[in-house]
Structure 1
Amino acid sequence: MHFGKQFKEYREEYLRMKQLEAAYELKIDPAALSNYERSERGFPNDLLPVVKETFSIPDDYFLAMILGTPLKAVRDPNISQPVKAAEVQEKYMDSFIDRHRQLFEESPELREFVAIISQMTKKDRRNYLNSNKALLSLFLKYVKEQDTE
Structure 2
Amino acid sequence: MHFGKQFKEYREEYLRMKQLEAALELNIEPAALSNYERNERGFPNDLLPIVKETFDIPNDYFLAMVLGDPLKSVRNPEVSQPIKALEVKERYMDSFIDRHRQLFEDSAELREFVTLASTLTEKDRRIFLNSNKSLLTLIHKHSRE
Report whether the alignment pairs 1:61 with 2:65: no
Match of 1:103 in 2: 103
2:16 aligned partner, one-letter code: R
Partner of 2:77: 77
Aligned residue number for residue 130 of structure 2? 130
User: Which amino acid is 2:92 matched to?
Assistant: Y
Relative to the length of structure 2, the TM-score reads: 0.98
The count of residues paired between Structure 1 and Structure 2 equals: 145
**Aligned position for 1:93:** 93
Are 1:44 and 2:44 matched, yes or no? yes
Structure 1 CA distance, aligned partners of 2:53 and 2:70?
A: 21
In 2, Cα distance between the equivalents of 1:94 and 1:16? Answer: 15
1:116, CA displacement in angstroms? 1.0
Q: Distance in 2 between matches of 1:66 and 1:138?
A: 35
When the two chains are superposed, the root-mean-square deviation of aligned CA atoms in Å is 0.7
Q: CA deviation at 1:14?
A: 0.2
Identity of aligned pairs, percent? 77
Match in the other structure for 2:112? 112
Taking the aligned partners of 2:134 and 2:17, their CA distance within structure 1 comes to 18
Report what 1:26 is aligned to: 26
Q: Equivalent residue of 2:17, what SS? A: coil
Matched to 2:21, the amino acid is: E
- 1:92-123: per-residue Cα shift (whole Å, max 9, x none)? 00000000000001101101111111111111
SS in 2 for 1:34: helix
> Which letter does structure 1 place at the counterpart of 2:68?
G
Residue aligned with 1:115, SS: helix
Shift of 1:142: 2.1
Q: What displacement does 1:144 show?
A: 2.1
Task: Give unpaired runs (5+ residues) of structure 1.
Answer: none
| Aligned counterparts of 1:26 and 1:105: Cα–Cα separation in 2 | 22
